[in-house]
Each structure stands twice: as structure tokens, then as C-alpha cells.
Structure 1
Amino acid sequence: MEATTANERIELLAEEIKDLLHPHAVDDVTLVQKGLMLYRQGMVKQLQIWNAQITAMVQDVTPCHVKLNFSHLSLSSCTCPHEGLCRHQMAVFFAAYSRVGSVAEWVAEWREPMKEKSDVASWGLQKAKDLIKANGVMKPDYDRWVESFEVSFDTILNSKKYSSPFIIAELFNIYERRIKASAPVEQEWRLLYEMVGIVVSFKKLAVLTVQSGFAEDVVRRAYLSVFHNLIEDADEVVLKIGVQSLPFDFDQFILKLKDEVFELLTVCSDLEQERIYLYRLLWTNLFKKKEWREQEIILINDRLKSLEDWENPNPLMVAGIHISFLQQKDELALDLITKIDDKVITPYMLHWVDLLSQSKAWKRVGPLLELFISKLKGYLDFLRTYHSCASFTRASLKAITPFVTENGKVELYERALLSTLPYSYTEYEFMLFERKQYDKWGDLQAFMGWNFYDLPKERVKIIEKEKPEVLLGMLHQSALNEINQKNRSSYKAAVRHLKKLRTLYKKTKRVDDWQYFLDTLMEKTKRLRAFHEECRRSKLIEE
């Protein structure tokens, strides 16, 4: 029974080490190789397996004594100078594991993710070569292009069974190289070919993501960057298309691409922001005809009416608002925005603020900003995490600044700062101080709960000189907070605040007010003997 228990502990240790070391990390690979070499050379001596640990001596250049802790691997030790898991500990592990299983099989299993990635990559490259031979350079034919993209995608990414999401990015790179190799030679057709490829590839990868069932955080770490790269590529291609003369029959391709782009809105429930970004990019820069936009609104409304309960309506609703802005139907767009929850619509509003600001349509920007600022606080309450709130606040203030600068609407900027406190503290504090609004500056410090002695000394010196009464309220609050702590060190801090208060009251010629405050304070705190002792010791009150 005891032997079986020991075997189980060794197997659990084997799993822990397998999870700890990564087959794609060079240092970890070297560590496993060196430990394996010491084990195979028979350098592990005096191996003993106890209830709590494994002990052994490893005959290296200098003999090393090793302990491997079953419960907490981090508590393991070796007399060599290496920190963390070392080659001697790995050698001892292999020696112990050899009693319960095959060391060679353990190493092979540990290396499997890298082997799988390598195998899949070489398999994908082979398939890509076959596809290039089969397709050659593609002539301008929209339907053939799409068929080629879909067949290539299915052949390279959908026909292979794999379990790791980290392989998808590798295979997608191979797929991209394949389709680019078959692009038309003429520059204008090549650009359109690339744009169609981006949209089709985005949709195919989105569907694959849903079908694979990978968790959202896994997709984010493994290959969300692929979607972002596609969007960046689309940005570049759209700019290039915009500065060249287009062939006469280009419109027929654009019409079909437009239908392809509409499917981005409903192709899956996840990747909402990425899908909407790509949709807006193309409708803003490529699909510019008035009748196209009128038809798109009809399509969006019809699709919204036919949505199933499980389908996500947000992309369609945001798309409708975007087309309305492009049609300059701002009242309709703003009305639609008010009907959507703050936590859904607020981040998308930044794009429209930027879009209208870039065209200097200031009369249109104003009402949009008013609505945006009214939603800011609700959205930040939804975000919660400090990093997310601070990041969105910075983006919001940056988007608002061009309108404020151009139109002198400082009060609007101030409302935005107030709505985003405490995340906008640095910007608001700077603005108030620069404009010498010292009363508001003092209120801001009180709102933030800063201690008087936490404030920047250079700021305090200027305010003490120009408007010392601003500091009175802060000192009162700081002193009372310290007194309420009811310990000797806080009483000393409180006295320091009170002495500063006395100086400021004298400076503002309000000695009577100071005396009244002090008398009242002493009466309220008469039971706090230690505090009164500190006041007498500092000569704040008479003996």
C-alpha cells in the first residue's frame, strides 16, 4: 500500500513538472536535456523516496545534494548555486520517475505540443504549395476569389484535427502566404483581391473560433492578434484603394464585397468590437454611394426584425447608427444611441466623435459630445477595474480635446473631467491650477481625500501666498482625521496640522476664528488626555 501511495505521489509530481516547464521555452528545453543526460549517465546516487520528499546525491563536477518536495515543488532544494528548478533536481526526478513509468515517454509527451505545432506547420506548408500549383495567379473573378479563399482556409485550417489554439495563428500565417501568392498581378485588382481576402478570412476564422469552443481568454492569448492584424491590413488597403484610379467594372466587385461585409454583423456572437470596427472601416472609406447606404439601412432593420433570441443584436444596432451618421441623419443616430445601454454603446461613440472631428463638422460634434459625456460615468462604473477606467478616460479626453480647442468650450471639457473622476485627477488638477481656480483646486483635493502633507509642496507654497484660505478646509479635515485615529503618533500629526492652521488664520487676519475653533475642539476632545498632552507639549495650548 505504501509503495502504491509513493507511486501516486511521483506521478503527481511528474504532472506538476510537465505543467511548469514549457517545451517552446529555450531555457526549459535545455534544463530537461541536461537533467536527462545526468540521469542517463547514472549520476544519480543514494536515491530515497520518503512520504514528503525525494532525496538523492547527484555526482556532477561538484557533488550536489537534492531534495524534491512532493507537496510544494517550490520548497525543493539543491546545494548547487542555481535558483529554482535545476538540472540536478531534474536528474533526480527522472531517476524517481523511472520506478513508476517510462522516462522516454514522459519526455515525448512533454514535447508533444511543439511537435504538433511543427507537424501542423509543415503539413500546412505542403497543402499551401499544392494549392498554389492548383490555382496559380487568380484573374479578376469575385466568385472564384471567394471560392479559392474558402477552399484554402478549409484545407489548411479546417481539415486537420488539433487540440491547441496556439497552432491556429501558425496555420493562418501559412494560409495568408498561400492566398497572397495567388494574387492578381495588376496593382488595382491586387488591392481589391486582398480586401476581399481579409473579409472572407475574418469571417471564416470567426466561425472556426465558435466551432472550436475555445474559451474567450484562451482565444485572446492564442490568436486574437490575428483578427487585429487583419483589421490593420484592411486599414492599409483601404487607404491605397482610395488614392488610385479604379477600373470601370470595379463596382460589381464592390457590390458583392458589400454583401460579404454585411455578414460580419451576424457571423457569430463573439468578437463584437472587432467585427464592428471592420464593418465601420469599410462603410466609411469604401462604400460611399448614397443608394448603397439607403439599401443598407433597410437590410439592417429587416435583419433586426428576424433576429433569434440567442443572437447578439448589438453589431446590427451599432451599424445602423453608423450608417445614419454617414447619411448625416444625426438626430436619428443620437436618438438610437439613447435607446442602447451605456455599457454597450459608450465605447463605440468615441469612433463617431473622431470621425466628425476629422472632418471638422463641429456643429455635429457638439450634440454628440453632450450625449457622450452624460454616459461616461455609467460606463466607468460598469468597467470597474482601475486600469480599464483610466485607459478609457484618457481616450475620451483625447477625443474631446479637438472640439474644445477649436470652439473654446472649456466648460464641456471640465464636465468631462468631473464625470471621469478620480481617473481624470491629473488632468483636472493641472487645469484648475493653471487657470488659478484655487477654490475648485482645494475642493478637488478634498474629494480625492488627500492629506495636506501629501500635496505637492510647490503648489502649496503658491496657494499659501495667493489664496491661503483655500488650505484652511484641507487642514481642518486632515487634523480631525488624525485625531479620530486615537493614537499617540496620529495626535502628533494632528498637532502639526493645527499649528499650520494657526499660522494661516493669522495670515488671513482671522485670529478670533482660530481661537473659537481651538476652544471648541478642546472641549470636544477633553476626554482625549494624550491629545491634550501633545497640544500642551507643542505649546498649542497653555499648561
Structure 2
Amino acid sequence: MLKLQIPKNRISMLARYLRDYFDTEQIEGGWEDFHKRRVEDIELKHGLEIHALVRVTKPYEVILDLESAVRSQCSCPEGEHCRHKAAVFFALYVPYGRPELLLQQLKQAILVRQRQQQTRQTNRIAEKKQQERLEPPTPDQSPSLWQRFFDQQFYGFSMNQQQSIELFYSSAKDSLTPYAEAWEKPQRDLYGLHMLLFVMRKIEQFYTETKSSYLSYYIETGCKTVARQCHEELQERLPQIDIPGIARSNPAAWKETLALIGESALAAKESPLSWSAVYRSIWWKMAPETKWVSDERTRIRKLLNAPDISVRRKDVLQLAEAHFALMEEGDEAARRQLEGLTRKEPRDFFLYLHDSYRQEQWERMLAWLRWLLPLMQKAQQEDLRQFCQYWIEAVQRQPDDTEWVDVMVALLPRTYHFYTAYLMRAGRYQAWIDLQLANRVSPLNLFAPDLTKVENHDPSLVLPLYHQAVERCIAEKNRTAYQNAMRLLKKLNGIYTRLQRQVVWEDYVYRLAGKHARLRALQEELRRVKWIP
């Protein structure tokens, strides 16, 4: 295709031009045009210009200036630095090496250049923010100024290690808390709430911004862990905060607070945080302030009636409306409204289970648990764990555990660990054995103290468990499995001896050897321990 070879220093100059002025998309487009043989009629004119045609949807004339590459031209409408210039350059590079290797080198160099530019821009912004640095927060400032100060203190916090989120959480608490230590309690409580809201905002920001990072798994895991800690801390703080008192004494600051929470809670965006739970918890504490509650409920209804509302946002608003119904009319009214949700997530309703637990309203907790039961088959494992823990608390206050057992059985195998632990605590050893048999669990995989406890209670109970495990090991038909079968058989021998049923044991081994007479390796193992001749 090319019949001329330009000097090496000119090729190097053109390569630097692409490296310093083009982006990766333009470079890759040029490589594609070159690779598909769209570059034609290359010739040297006037000693210092390369003329060529690049035929894409239509032919474009490219002129590369060998004296000053920035003066190069193209007849396309794509702008000063286009893919067609890059395509001609790759064609010129052929006599000097492999263009595909140069493509990778240029892409790497462009990536480094872009990162350096981004760093310089970040540094300029940081310098500007440093010049505009706010004074430390004071109790008479608005919450929005507190939030700006928090942002400044942690501007540019680096997500460069696996524990970055956890470090941010502890650092924010340690550095921001002391500013309000000497304040009066109402303002100190409000400040503490805003500090927690700031941490939650930043967690959401980190979660969104690092999805393409090589540390994304660790950042996402850290965000979810710290989000859970924030929710727990909020539940601990709220009973100690006189929210109606703050709303009456400082309505402007409280209005800002509600606006900040409402903006995050009602936006229906993806987040590791349950902003809806925060929103409902705060408004629950506002129940005595009927005017505030009435105005907010009216606002929610207007938002629900807005045209072209998305399904996800409608669910969020219906959840809020149902909560106000609960506050004013009771749980049944809320559950009726919640039936209209397109998608129900169990974690959205744990707020009511927690409140029932805190107030020791066990029948109310059971009502919510029964309502949630149909959702649990497809619930996430963490949600199922919390659901089971709440039900364990409720069942301890009931005359019998029949309903609890029915629920555990209905949700098997996902509830296996909860159910088996409960049966062991309740001393229901026969049911415990039946559960292991149904799930085909080998005694070798069970918690040894549990198995010992059942055996000490009644050795005969564990016999079917060992018999089943022996047959399953033999069915695998390999030497390792046969050795495991021998371990189980030795245990069986000990149990039969303890029960003084040696005749039954000998008959069992005789029948077992006869049943599997063709398995030579198994027969060798049985002879080795002298159970068969």
C-alpha cells in the first residue's frame, strides 16, 4: 500500500502529536480504518506534506504536515483531531514496526496523560477550596453550613485500599464529634444527627463512584457494612433526641434537616443505604407535631399524583404514605396500603419489627412477621436471618412453638441453620435427627458437641444417621470414601456395643459385605479391621 518511507524523526514527531492531542477513541478509530484498508493514495507532496484519502462512508482527504503536525488537516467534520489522521499515521508507521504494538503504547501513554490532567485539575480545585475554607461549626450556624464544612474536611478522601470505607467512618466520627462536645444538648443532638447523615451521603457517593474501580468489590462490601452500622447508630440515637423540641425551638434548622433526608429518601435511586427507613424513623418521632406531619403527608400525595412517575419512585412514595397511615390510623391501615407496592423488600419493614421488639409488643411483631412470610422465600439471606431472629424473640413469648416450627419447615432448606440450632436448644433431639436425615447431612459434617449431646441423651437416635452416611460414602466408590465409611462404621460399632446389641451389629456388617461383594476395595477395608474373614 505504501511506496514511500519518511524519515524516522518525522514519524516520532507524528507519534508525539497523537500521544499529546488525541484520545483513545480517536486512536482506536484510526486503527480500525487502517486495519480495514480504508487508507488509499498515500503520497509525499512538496517534500513536507503527506496526502492521503480515507474512505469511510465517503472519502476524506487528509494532509499530515511533517514539519508541524498541529497544522495537519482533514476534510471531515469531526474536528481538529480526528480518526482519519490517526489512520494515515498507522499506515506511515508500517515500515518501522508493528502498528498494533504502537496502538497499545499510544493508548497507555494517553491514559497516563489523562490521569495527570485529572490530578492537576483536582489539585487546582483543592487549592481553590482551601482558599475558601470554612471556619469550624458553631451551634448558631445552619445545618447546610455544617454539611459544607464536613465536605471540606474530607474532600478528596482516597479510596485506595480495601478498608477505605471503614477508615473513613472511624475518621469522620473521631474528627467531627469534638466540635460539638461543649454545645447545649439540643444543638449537640442535631449536630450528631447531621454528622451521621454526612457519613451516609459520602458512603452513597463512594458506592456510586467506585463501581469501575479495581477495588469495587471491597468498596461495595465496606459500604454495605458501614451502612448497616450507620442504621444501627441512628436507631440508638433517635430515642435520645427530642425531635419535636428541636422542631419547635429551631424550625428553620429542622426544616433543612427534613429537606436533606427527604431529598435522599424519595429520589428512588440505587443505594447501599435504606434512606426510606431513615425518613420514616425521623417522621415517626415527629408524630406529636400534627401540622408538620399533615403538610408532609399532603406533599407525598401530590408527588404520587404527578404524571409520568416511575414505578420505583411510586413504590418509595407509597411506602412513605403507608407509614403516615400507620402513624395516624394503625398497622392494619398501613398493611392495606402496602399491598399496592409493585415490589416488596423485607428489609423495608424491619423498622416495624424493631419498634415492636423495643416496646415488647409481641403480638404486633407476630402480625408483621406473618404478613412478611410470603416474601421470605425469595428474600436475601441477610434479610432471612433478621426475620428468623425476630421470630425467635416472638416465639419465646408464645405458649407453644408450633407456628414457628411450621415456618421453619416451610422455608427449608434456607432456614436449616436456624431450625437445627433451635431444635438443639429446645432438646427436641428426634426432630433434630430427622432434619439431618432429610438433608442427608453426614455425622462427619455436624458440630461434634451437638452430636455428642444427642448420643448421650439416647444413643439409638443417631443410628439411622450413621447408617445413611455409610451408604452414601460407599455409593461414591472410591478409596477415600471407603476410608470415611470405615470411620463411620467404627463409630457405629461403638454405639452398638454401648447399647449391648453386638448381634445386631454383626448381622449388619455381614449383610453390608454381602450387598457390596463386588467392591473389592471396600472388602479390603472391611478385612483390614477384621470385620469379615
TM-score, reference length from structure 2:
0.57
The 1:196–1:436 alpha-carbon spacing in structure 2 relative to 1, beyond 3 Å, is closer
Q: Which of the numbers 96, 119, 122 marks the counterpart of 2:127?
A: 122
The aligned counterpart of 1:467 is 458
Write out per-residue CA displacement over residues 254-313 of structure 1, whole angstroms, 9 at most, x where no aligned residue: 578656654444335223744213212211223543565455455434433436364523
Q: Which of the numbers 484, 487, 491 marks the counterpart of 2:482?
A: 491
The 1:325–1:243 alpha-carbon spacing in structure 2 relative to 1, beyond 3 Å, is closer
The aligned counterpart of 2:285 is 285
The 1:246–1:271 alpha-carbon spacing in structure 2 relative to 1, beyond 3 Å, is closer
Partner amino acid for 1:359?
Q
* Total equivalences in the alignment: 418
Structure 1, unaligned runs of 5 or more: 12-99, 384-388
The aligned counterpart of 2:358 is 358
Question: The residue matched to 1:306 in structure 2 has which SS?
Answer: coil
The aligned counterpart of 1:320 is 321
- Give me the whole-angstrom Cα distance separating, in 2, the residues matched to 1:229 and 1:149: 22
Shift of 1:345: 1.8
Deviates more, 1:475-484 or 1:243-252: 243-252
- Give me the whole-angstrom Cα distance separating, in 2, the residues matched to 1:457 and 1:193: 51
Write out per-residue CA displacement over residues 449-474 of structure 1, whole angstroms, 9 at most, x where no aligned residue: 44323445544444334322221221
Write out per-residue CA displacement over residues 39-64 of structure 1, whole angstroms, 9 at most, x where no aligned residue: xxxxxxxxxxxxxxxxxxxxxxxxxx
Deviates more, 1:418-427 or 1:478-487: 418-427
- Give me the whole-angstrom Cα distance separating, in 2, the residues matched to 1:511 and 1:228: 57
The 1:374–1:111 alpha-carbon spacing in structure 2 relative to 1, beyond 3 Å, is same
Write out per-residue CA displacement over residues 184-243 of structure 1, whole angstroms, 9 at most, x where no aligned residue: x98757866887898799889989998x89769969949969989997897788556418
Shift of 1:443: 2.6
- Give me the whole-angstrom Cα distance separating, in 2, the residues matched to 1:457 and 1:190: 52
The aligned counterpart of 2:437 is 446
Question: The residue matched to 1:267 in structure 2 has which SS?
Answer: coil
CA contact 1:238–1:286 (8 Å) conserved in 2: no
CA contact 1:502–1:514 (8 Å) conserved in 2: yes
CA contact 1:146–1:200 (8 Å) conserved in 2: no
CA contact 2:473–2:481 (8 Å) conserved in 1: yes
The aligned counterpart of 1:334 is 335
- Give me the whole-angstrom Cα distance separating, in 2, the residues matched to 1:208 and 1:522: 64
Partner amino acid for 2:345?
I
CA contact 1:324–1:333 (8 Å) conserved in 2: yes
CA contact 1:482–1:493 (8 Å) conserved in 2: yes
The 1:286–1:198 alpha-carbon spacing in structure 2 relative to 1, beyond 3 Å, is farther
The 1:202–1:303 alpha-carbon spacing in structure 2 relative to 1, beyond 3 Å, is farther
Partner amino acid for 1:364?
R
Shift of 1:128: 3.4
CA contact 1:322–1:333 (8 Å) conserved in 2: yes
Partner amino acid for 1:532?
Q
CA contact 1:495–1:534 (8 Å) conserved in 2: yes
Partner amino acid for 1:452?
P
- Give me the whole-angstrom Cα distance separating, in 1, the residues matched to 2:446 and 2:365: 37
Partner amino acid for 2:133?
A
- Give me the whole-angstrom Cα distance separating, in 1, the residues matched to 2:234 and 2:488: 60
CA contact 1:417–1:424 (8 Å) conserved in 2: yes
Shift of 1:368: 0.8
- Give me the whole-angstrom Cα distance separating, in 1, the residues matched to 2:431 and 2:212: 48
CA contact 1:479–1:497 (8 Å) conserved in 2: yes
Deviates more, 1:283-292 or 1:185-194: 185-194
Question: The residue matched to 1:323 in structure 2 has which SS?
Answer: helix
- Give me the whole-angstrom Cα distance separating, in 2, the residues matched to 1:199 and 1:302: 26
CA contact 1:452–1:474 (8 Å) conserved in 2: yes
- Give me the whole-angstrom Cα distance separating, in 1, the residues matched to 2:241 and 2:454: 57
Question: The residue matched to 2:477 in structure 1 has which SS?
Answer: coil
- Give me the whole-angstrom Cα distance separating, in 1, the residues matched to 2:523 and 2:198: 78
Shift of 1:437: 1.6
- Give me the whole-angstrom Cα distance separating, in 2, the residues matched to 1:409 and 1:264: 44
Residues 22-421 of structure 1 mapped to structure 2, 5 A cutoff:
118-129=123-134, 188=186, 221=219, 241-242=241-242, 250=250, 261-267=261-267, 269-271=269-271, 273-290=273-290, 292-293=292-293, 296-306=296-306, 308=308, 310=310, 312=312, 313-338=314-339, 340=341, 344-379=344-379, 383=380, 389=381, 391-407=382-398, 410-411=401-402, 413-414=404-405, 418=409
Partner amino acid for 2:131?
Q
CA contact 1:403–1:409 (8 Å) conserved in 2: no
The aligned counterpart of 2:77 is none
Question: The residue matched to 1:327 in structure 2 has which SS?
Answer: helix
The 1:353–1:203 alpha-carbon spacing in structure 2 relative to 1, beyond 3 Å, is same
CA contact 2:483–2:525 (8 Å) conserved in 1: yes
CA contact 1:499–1:540 (8 Å) conserved in 2: no
- Give me the whole-angstrom Cα distance separating, in 1, the residues matched to 2:373 and 2:518: 50
- Give me the whole-angstrom Cα distance separating, in 2, the residues matched to 1:201 and 1:483: 57
The aligned counterpart of 1:529 is 520
- Give me the whole-angstrom Cα distance separating, in 2, the residues matched to 1:460 and 1:191: 51
Shift of 1:319: 1.8
Deviates more, 1:417-426 or 1:262-271: 417-426
Partner amino acid for 1:122?
E
Q: Percent identity?
A: 18
The 1:415–1:469 alpha-carbon spacing in structure 2 relative to 1, beyond 3 Å, is same
Question: The residue matched to 1:484 in structure 2 has which SS?
Answer: helix
The aligned counterpart of 2:529 is 538
The aligned counterpart of 1:53 is none
- Give me the whole-angstrom Cα distance separating, in 1, the residues matched to 2:323 and 2:210: 31
Shift of 1:527: 2.7
Structure 2, unaligned runs of 5 or more: 17-104
Shift of 1:126: 1.8
CA contact 1:318–1:345 (8 Å) conserved in 2: no
Question: The residue matched to 1:128 in structure 2 has which SS?
Answer: coil
CA contact 2:207–2:271 (8 Å) conserved in 1: no
- Give me the whole-angstrom Cα distance separating, in 2, the residues matched to 1:273 and 1:435: 37
CA contact 2:353–2:365 (8 Å) conserved in 1: yes
Write out per-residue CA displacement over residues 425-482 of structure 1, whole angstroms, 9 at most, x where no aligned residue: 5554443234322112223333554432344554444433432222122111111112
Write out per-residue CA displacement over residues 329-385 of structure 1, whole angstroms, 9 at most, x where no aligned residue: 21233344455477x421122221001221222231111122334433320xxx3xx
The 1:238–1:116 alpha-carbon spacing in structure 2 relative to 1, beyond 3 Å, is farther
The 1:399–1:341 alpha-carbon spacing in structure 2 relative to 1, beyond 3 Å, is farther
